[in-house]
Structure 1
Amino acid sequence: MEKCLLLSLILLFFHFPSFSSSSSFNSSLCHHDESFALLQFKSSFTIDTPCVKSPMKTATWKNGTDCCSWHGVTCDTVSGHVIGLNLGCEGFQGILHPNSTLFNIVHLQTLNLSNNGFYGSYFDSKFGRFTSLTHLDLSNTHVGGEIPSQISYLSKLQSLHLSGHYELVWKETTLKRLVQNATSLRELFLDYSDMSSLRHNSMDAIFNQSSLISLDLTDCELQGPIPPSFSNLTRLTFLSLAQNNLNGSIPSSFSNLQNLIHLYLSGNSLSGQIPDVFGRMTKLQVFYLASNKLEGQIPSSLFNLNQLVDLDCAYNKLEGPLHNKIAGFQKLIYLRLNDNLLNGTIPSSLLSLPSLVLLYLSNNRLTGPISEISSYSLEYLSLCNNKLQGDIPNSIFNLANLITLCLSSNNLSGVVNFQDFTKLQKLDSLSLSHNSQLSLNFEYNVTYHFSQLTKLDLSSLSLTEFPKLLGKLESLDLSNNKLNGTVSNWLLETSRSLNLSQNLFTSIDQISRNSDQLGDLDLSFNLLVGNLSVSICNLSSLEFLNLGHNNFTGNIPQCLANLPSLQILDLQMNNFYGTLPNNFSKSSKLITLNLNDNQLEGYFPKSLSHCENLQVLNLRNNKMEDKFPVWLQTLQYLKVLVLRDNKLHGHIANLKIRHPFPSLVIFDISSNNFTGPLPKAYLKYFEAMKKVTQVKDDDSLLYMEMMLSYRADNTKGNVSYYDSVTVTTKGIKMTLTKIPTMFVSIDFSRNKFNGGIPNDIGELHALKGLNLSHNRLTGPIPQSIQNLTNLESLDLSSNMLTGMIPAELTNLNSLEVLDLSNNHLVGEIPQGKQFNTFTNDSYKGNLGLCGLPLSKKCGPEQHSPPSANNFWSEEKFGFGWKPVAIGYGCGFVFGIGLGYYMFLIGKPRWFVMIFGGHPKRRVNRRT
């Protein structure tokens, strides 16, 4: 009997091989309709390079073969239906259409299409057909649109991965219904989808899903405090609420989540102290709290977690000293406490942790000496920008695995033999800058060899010499030292990015072609004299060249205009003369051209219009003599145009293009000889000046930063350059060493513009500064200026404006400086809000104005502008209008003649003083 039973089982096994774990042995299992559907599904896409280095699964999909034997396909061992598809990273490219044959395979239990390129696809409601699904992974597939309500039909789901979809939008009812129906849900990864419309009761529904083990809601635009219901998720091992807009304090009920291994709360606005509740979370291995607004001391319980591998509390406002004795952290590999307010000394126990690989304590207030370091596993050590004192400990040179060492911006002292750093042959980045009492000892006639070093920062160390280096440096910063003499060729060959600014160099060697790999060269603020040699163009790979603030003379080499890679050229504050290069190439990559404060003359070269990427053009304070270069208005990316203090003249003609200067935010043509009306077409179509830039939540300013990107061979990191500009704003001449992106300014002052101020100026809502002073403008102040609600400085002084000051201007709540002096304004000065802060100087030289802050009081007749009938009234003057007209006519002729003479001789100071002008302001024409 037993033998018969055994024989029956053997026969059964061979007759039904589908009972085995693999269904690929039986060619009769695959259903023809499902095989056809899979082949049709595959053919609906192009296949690009897979994201993993392994053979494509669908390469085994052949017509006439058993689909259950295909890679990536799993079949049920009894029914033969396809129940699993694993096609992640397959390289599919194309749209997942609603009529896709994929939706005909209705018995699917697991579906993985992650990391494919379904660009332009929408999450279709037909996914609701897969009612047997337990695992669905559509992460990083670029599927967009609103999540359909039919997803709630997938009640058997245990794992749902929809990560990486900024285009996916959740409705509150859909998410709530899903988590209520899918009672066995264990993994829920919805990071980078849009949940901005969700309220807290929807989040409570998720946090009541007690079966969850993993929950990822990273960057889902969640708002408000962390709901208290999350403490129900006692089975969680993974929780990420990072990169949202969560605020409030960290709930103490986190202590209930004692199974957590990974906890990510970084990138929110959480505030208050870190609660001392994490001592019970003994399984915690990764804990991220970075980039919040947390304050107070780090709780001692964190330092007792024995399983912790990665702790990140950077970019907060944590303060107080670190704990001297660290009982836990024996497995800690990564510790980031940088960018806080920590003080006191660095505990020696922290520098002796056995597994520590990365320690970031930079940008704090730590003091005292650096104790001996015995964490020999250290690879990344950053202690820069603190108040550390004393010598660099010798034990640092025993850290053979060290890759990054940053000790800059401290108070370190003593003498260090530079040769000792060559012991660290894995060192990639070394920064010792801004330690004024630290002395580096170089040996004469020694070439220092670094096999891996790519970045060396020795700025502000009072160096008088620098040795030859052998290696492959990408970035060398020797700025703000006392290096002098000639910049030699071997120095130019040392690195791809070389900063020698703020030294005492007086000349440059004739540059050889061996330096043609140099990409960035900064020699600004030196003592360089003489002509700039054309050998500078042997640096054929130059992307960034800054020779500003020197004493160069002569012509600018024409070849600079044709350097193929040059993006930033800064020659400001020299004594260059002659004309601009006139051969700018059509392939030019120039982004910034700063030639201000030289002695350049002549015309604008029209080849400048070839620089289609140009964002900043500054020719301030030269001797350019030309008409306005109207052809510049075609440059789509030009943000800053400064032509002030030249000899430019004539009308500004309007070319008939639809959007002139679409990106311009700073336009300064002051102190020239422009005539005619203000360029109305420009004021009407300055598109970038109409768009108000919002302030960031942390009130930090963003600046115009020019980034030089990686080269194609990826051998060079980004180099940032901040443009500077000198402007007159709020009545003060000031240099912006970094230009805030929010700074929007127009300065047409000190020209000969006439006519009225166009009403269209009121559409430039982003304006911060508007200066039309010292022209010949007439007519009233436009009421439309009331729409410039971001305006901080308004200067209309020294014109011939008439009428009353519009009362609506009192609504300019941001206005800090107002100058309407020396016009022909009349009537009562508006009162209230910002206008109550302005002094007499804002209104002087307007004989018809009255009211505070002037001492002249207003009578009943001065509350409105005088009419022509009142002016010529016989009753007012006591005699008829004819004698007045006769006298007026004679005076008018005399006045015209005298006025013409005054303009010819340049408005002498005595004449200005007699007629109520401000002598200091008039004399100092260039402000």
Structure 2
Amino acid sequence: MGCVKLIFFMLYVFLFQLVPSSSLLHLCPEDQALALLQFKNMFTVNPNASDYCYDYTGVEIQSYPRTLSWNKSADCCSWDGVDCDETTGQVIALDLCCSKLRGKFHTNSSLFQLSNLKRLDLSNNNFTGSLISPKFGEFSNLTHLVLSDSSFTGLIPFEISHLSKLHVLRISDLNELSLGPHNFELLLKNLTQLRELNLDSVNISSTIPSNFSSHLTNLWLPYTELRGVLPERVFHLSDLEFLHLSGNPQLTVRFPTTKWNSSASLMKLYVDSVNIADRIPESFSHLTSLHELDMGYTNLSGPIPKPLWNLTNIESLFLDDNHLEGPIPQLPRFEKLNDLSLGYNNLDGGLEFLSSNRSWTELEILDFSSNYLTGPIPSNVSGLRNLQLLHLSSNHLNGTIPSWIFSLPSLVVLDLSNNTFSGKIQEFKSKTLITVTLKQNKLKGPIPNSLLNQQSLSFLLLSHNNISGHISSSICNLKTLISLDLGSNNLEGTIPQCVGEMKENLWSLDLSNNSFSGTINTTFSVGNFLRVISLHGNKLTGKVPRSLINCKYLTLLDLGNNMLNDTFPNWLGYLPDLKILSLRSNKLHGPIKSSGNTNLFTRLQILDLSSNGFSGNLPESILGNLQAMKKINESTRFPEYISDPYDIFYNYLTTITTKGQDYDSVRIFTSNMIINLSKNRFEGHIPSIIGDLVGLRTLNLSHNALEGHIPASFQNLSVLESLDLSSNKISGEIPQQLASLTFLEVLNLSHNHLVGCIPKGKQFDSFGNTSYQGNDGLRGFPLSKLCGVDDQVTTPAELDQEEEEEDSPMISWQGVLVGYGCGLVIGLSVIYIMWSTQYPAWFSRMDLKLERIITKRMKKHKKRY
């Protein structure tokens, strides 16, 4: 029996060794499971959250709701994102990165009951408006804390500096977080074990103290309002791999002139938009491990620094937005180079070096845009088979575009705009094109078919060339197209009807300044995303298409300079985002009727109905609805352009009249507030309600049949820069209050029936005769008819009577002077006869009238001379 027991015991020990150790682990403590479930219930899963997010290095991570696997029926150690200690079962790690969580993160959250946590990652969720709780500082065992990109806000609590065991701290967000200078110093001083510190976009507003962890490998402090001088000790951290200080223009960086301790370890150095104190020293030659260097916008000047050519392991080199000058030298053998950006400098010379660098087989990005490069692109370039992005825009390059560019098999982005390239656009070999912008050159011929068969093309910008032919309906196969800009070419025919049905992605449609004809038979479908439609400057006829009402996101509509024959499309006012409406120079006609709806055209900033046949009174109801013009745009000092989310490729352009001049294809500022109703048949009075449009910059009501007085309410237009009321029938005086318009640069009141004295002072002292000509009743500077202190206001009726009297031969001043001699003798004879024939009353009346006429003439004579 004892032998049997021994056998069973040995078998038990053997089986025990075969059982996986995980099956004998302690289960998750009940209180911790409950704490996690309570934490889960505080949030919802956001169904609209993206299926992908990105970590701080830009690596894509799949998003999914990890907490959906949390339930009472399973051990919490098996839940997604939860790790437990193998011995005690205590929760020691919680990874909820990219879990689509949405809700308020409470400062007393049940999460803080997990006192044994060592790793905690809550990044890339949506805790909008939540503060970072001081209780995070109670996780005394924490080595990793990641709270980035989860919409936390407010001050980062100083209690975070109590986490003395931290190796990794990542707290970043888009300028919603701040960290006081004292807290920053405390943080660096206490976290002596820190390997990685990432406070991207946190407002620190401090210098960098010299006392910090010597174990740092990653130091990420971009866009943190750092100032002062970067301690040189940073460059002597022996394990430093990544240093990111970009976007701190008040931070000064002085690179060591001797070899750095981190020379062998440093792989990424981002110092764009900081102040580099001196030239690049020779010590850069020792950065043998450097893979990425970004020194854009750092005021580098002179030739391209030679020490950079020794970085033989470099993969990305960004020196854009500087003041580098001189020709581009024969670059060394950068066999690992992926990205080279030298755009926005003052480099000159040609691109001959491209034909001699056959070792750039890994090159994917080449950017020499906005320099002073000249000559043609070499035709014998090879070795760039992996090139994906080629930027050579805004130079002085010419000649034909060489065939090797069109033959690049992996080309994604091509930008050769703002040069003087000529010849035809060849067929592209690449099937992966996303952006092709060749605008503002001298290219000719048709649009190549290969462009119309791209599956991923988003931006096709070919404007301001000599491209000819018709637009094929196959252009509507570009399902990913966001912006189509074919303006200012020689295209003709009709606009394909299907263009309005490209509703998936199309934002901008510009076919302006071509020779398109026929009616606009395009049907704009329900659900489209169009923001910009410009068909200006063609030969289009018919009516304004009613289907435009389906363009709910439309911001700019320019149908000007065509031959449209319609009444005013009042229904366009229902488009909620419409800011710019130009229907100028068409055959539109009739009165502009009031709908009684006060919500029409509320966001309109530019209204141009000039050069049509509109009649009746000015559209007072519409003018009263222009809510966007009833406030002054404060961006006058640094005005921004009206643009869309893709403004890197497209800024709103239109033709506008301002300050007496027509401007074609100009970019529109957010501060532009313009009303142009000139060259129509409007009549009646000018509505005083225009004075409520205090944001107006330009008002043009010229060449109509308007009458009545200039409203005194115009004094409220405090930022008005141009006022044109010329060629109307406006009467009365110029309101003296207009002298307060200190922004007024252009004034044209000519050819009206204005009378009285011209206001004095400020801007009115700068206007010339042309501003007032054709108003015979006006007096004062700069006219020759001066205003005296005793002048009475002359009414229009008195003026007419006076002119009639002045035209009479009997009362001509010149006649009085010429006939004075003989008239004296005759006059005395007449007096004698009148008195002797008993007509003293008639003579008395005649005498008084003559005295009055002569007195007026003498006064005017004095004023004139």
TM-score scaled by length of structure 1 = 0.68
Q: Does 1:145 align with 2:142?
A: no
Match of 1:184 in 2: 193
Residues 330 and 353, structure 1, Cα contact 8 Å, conserved in 2:
yes
Q: Provide the C-alpha distance between the structure 2 equivalents of 1:314 and 1:271, rounded to a whole number of angstroms.
A: 17
Q: Provide the C-alpha distance between the structure 1 equivalents of 2:524 and 2:384, rounded to a whole number of angstroms.
A: 52
* 1:304 Cα offset (Å): 1.0
Q: Provide the C-alpha distance between the structure 2 equivalents of 1:448 and 1:755, rounded to a whole number of angstroms.
A: 58
Residues 497 and 521, structure 1, Cα contact 8 Å, conserved in 2:
no
CA deviation map 1:735-770 (0-9, x unaligned): 343333332223456754536856944x72x43324
Q: Does 1:237 align with 2:274?
A: no
Residues 96 and 122, structure 1, Cα contact 8 Å, conserved in 2:
yes
Kindly report which structure 2 residues correspond to 1:189-338, keeping only aligned pairs within 5 A, or say none. Answer: 189-195=198-204, 198=205, 202-205=206-209, 210-220=214-224, 222=225, 224=227, 226-229=228-231, 231-232=233-234, 234-235=236-237, 236-244=240-248, 246-247=249-250, 250-253=253-256, 258=263, 259-267=265-273, 277-324=283-330, 326=332, 329-338=334-343
Kindly report which structure 2 residues correspond to 1:663-702, keeping only aligned pairs within 5 A, or say none. Answer: 681-682=624-625, 685-687=627-629, 689-693=631-635, 696=638, 702=640
CA deviation map 1:753-801 (0-9, x unaligned): 536856944x72x43324456744536856844x72x443344667445
Q: Provide the C-alpha distance between the structure 1 equivalents of 2:787 and 2:91, rounded to a whole number of angstroms.
A: 92
Match of 1:739 in 2: 668
Match of 2:615 in 1: 649
Cα gap change, 1:457 to 1:705, in 2 (>3 Å): closer
CA deviation map 1:170-207 (0-9, x unaligned): 33343333333333333211113334xx2xxx323377
Structure 2: runs of 5 or more not aligned: 1-9, 53-60, 806-865
1:723 maps to which of 639, 645, 653 = 653
Cα gap change, 1:41 to 1:373, in 2 (>3 Å): same
Code of the residue aligned with 2:270 in structure 1: it is: Y
Larger Rg: 2
Q: Does 1:620 align with 2:584?
A: yes
Alignment partner of 2:208: what SS? helix
Q: Provide the C-alpha distance between the structure 2 equivalents of 1:892 and 1:145, rounded to a whole number of angstroms.
A: 76
2:111 maps to which of 99, 102, 107 = 102
Q: Provide the C-alpha distance between the structure 1 equivalents of 2:515 and 2:407, rounded to a whole number of angstroms.
A: 42
2:474 maps to which of 493, 518, 530 = 493
Alignment partner of 1:318: what SS? strand
Kindly report which structure 2 residues correspond to 1:330-729, keeping only aligned pairs within 5 A, or say none. Answer: 330-346=335-351, 347=353, 350-353=357-360, 355-367=362-374, 370=378, 373=381, 375=383, 378-380=386-388, 382=390, 384-385=392-393, 410-412=397-399, 424-428=408-412, 452=432, 463=444, 469=450, 472=454, 474=457, 487=470, 491-493=472-474, 496=477, 522=486, 525-526=489-490, 528=492, 536=497, 540-541=501-502, 548-549=512-513, 556-557=520-521, 560=523, 565=528, 567=530, 569-577=533-541, 579-582=543-546, 591-605=555-569, 607-609=571-573, 611-612=575-576, 614-621=578-585, 622-630=587-595, 633-652=599-618, 681-682=624-625, 685-687=627-629, 689-693=631-635, 696=638, 702-705=640-643, 720=650, 722-727=652-657, 729=658
Q: Provide the C-alpha distance between the structure 2 equivalents of 1:892 and 1:294, rounded to a whole number of angstroms.
A: 75
Residues 612 and 636, structure 1, Cα contact 8 Å, conserved in 2:
yes
1:123 maps to which of 122, 127, 132 = 132
* 1:623 Cα offset (Å): 3.6
CA deviation map 1:504-534 (0-9, x unaligned): xxxxxxxxxxxx99995848654747xx59x
Code of the residue aligned with 1:726 in structure 2: it is: I
Cα gap change, 1:182 to 1:807, in 2 (>3 Å): same
Q: Percent identity?
A: 30
Alignment partner of 1:204: what SS? coil
TM-score scaled by length of structure 2 = 0.72
Residues 783 and 809, structure 1, Cα contact 8 Å, conserved in 2:
no
Residues 26 and 86, structure 2, Cα contact 8 Å, conserved in 1:
no
Residues 294 and 318, structure 1, Cα contact 8 Å, conserved in 2:
yes
Q: Provide the C-alpha distance between the structure 1 equivalents of 2:697 and 2:397, rounded to a whole number of angstroms.
A: 38
Q: Provide the C-alpha distance between the structure 2 equivalents of 1:232 and 1:448, rounded to a whole number of angstroms.
A: 48
Cα gap change, 1:264 to 1:64, in 2 (>3 Å): same
Cα gap change, 1:186 to 1:315, in 2 (>3 Å): same
Q: Provide the C-alpha distance between the structure 1 equivalents of 2:291 and 2:491, rounded to a whole number of angstroms.
A: 56
Structure 1: runs of 5 or more not aligned: 1-9, 388-408, 499-515, 661-678, 710-717, 872-884, 896-927
Greater CA deviation, 179-188 or 457-466?
457-466
* 1:386 Cα offset (Å): 7.2
Q: Provide the C-alpha distance between the structure 1 equivalents of 2:82 and 2:792, rounded to a whole number of angstroms.
A: 91
Cα gap change, 1:735 to 1:107, in 2 (>3 Å): same
* 1:161 Cα offset (Å): 0.5
Residues 584 and 611, structure 2, Cα contact 8 Å, conserved in 1:
yes
Q: Provide the C-alpha distance between the structure 2 equivalents of 1:279 and 1:449, rounded to a whole number of angstroms.
A: 40
Q: Provide the C-alpha distance between the structure 2 equivalents of 1:749 and 1:140, rounded to a whole number of angstroms.
A: 52
Q: Provide the C-alpha distance between the structure 1 equivalents of 2:652 and 2:583, rounded to a whole number of angstroms.
A: 17
Code of the residue aligned with 2:662 in structure 1: it is: K
* 1:318 Cα offset (Å): 1.8
Match of 1:754 in 2: 685
Residues 524 and 548, structure 1, Cα contact 8 Å, conserved in 2:
yes
Cα gap change, 1:94 to 1:779, in 2 (>3 Å): closer
Cα gap change, 1:380 to 1:776, in 2 (>3 Å): same
Residues 28 and 91, structure 2, Cα contact 8 Å, conserved in 1:
yes
Q: Provide the C-alpha distance between the structure 2 equivalents of 1:432 and 1:828, rounded to a whole number of angstroms.
A: 53
Cα gap change, 1:318 to 1:722, in 2 (>3 Å): same
Alignment partner of 1:203: what SS? coil
Residues 602 and 624, structure 1, Cα contact 8 Å, conserved in 2:
yes
* 1:295 Cα offset (Å): 3.0
2:39 maps to which of 32, 38, 41 = 41
Residues 62 and 98, structure 2, Cα contact 8 Å, conserved in 1:
no
Q: Provide the C-alpha distance between the structure 1 equivalents of 2:278 and 2:223, rounded to a whole number of angstroms.
A: 22
Alignment partner of 1:724: what SS? strand
How many residues align structurally?
752
Code of the residue aligned with 2:236 in structure 1: it is: T
CA deviation map 1:656-679 (0-9, x unaligned): xxxx7xxxxxxxxxxxxxxxxxx5
Alignment partner of 1:35: what SS? helix
Kindly report which structure 2 residues correspond to 1:772-811, keeping only aligned pairs within 5 A, or say none. Answer: 775-778=706-709, 784-785=715-716, 788=718, 790-795=719-724, 799-800=730-731, 802=733, 805-806=736-737, 809=740
Match of 1:824 in 2: 755
Kindly report which structure 2 residues correspond to 1:81-92, keeping only aligned pairs within 5 A, or say none. Answer: 81-92=90-101
Alignment partner of 2:169: what SS? strand
Q: Provide the C-alpha distance between the structure 2 equivalents of 1:32 and 1:564, rounded to a whole number of angstroms.
A: 52
* 1:687 Cα offset (Å): 4.8
Alignment partner of 1:132: what SS? coil
* 1:233 Cα offset (Å): 5.6
Task: Output the aligned Cα RMSD.
Answer: 5.0
Q: Provide the C-alpha distance between the structure 1 equivalents of 2:130 and 2:397, rounded to a whole number of angstroms.
A: 54
Residues 527 and 550, structure 2, Cα contact 8 Å, conserved in 1:
no
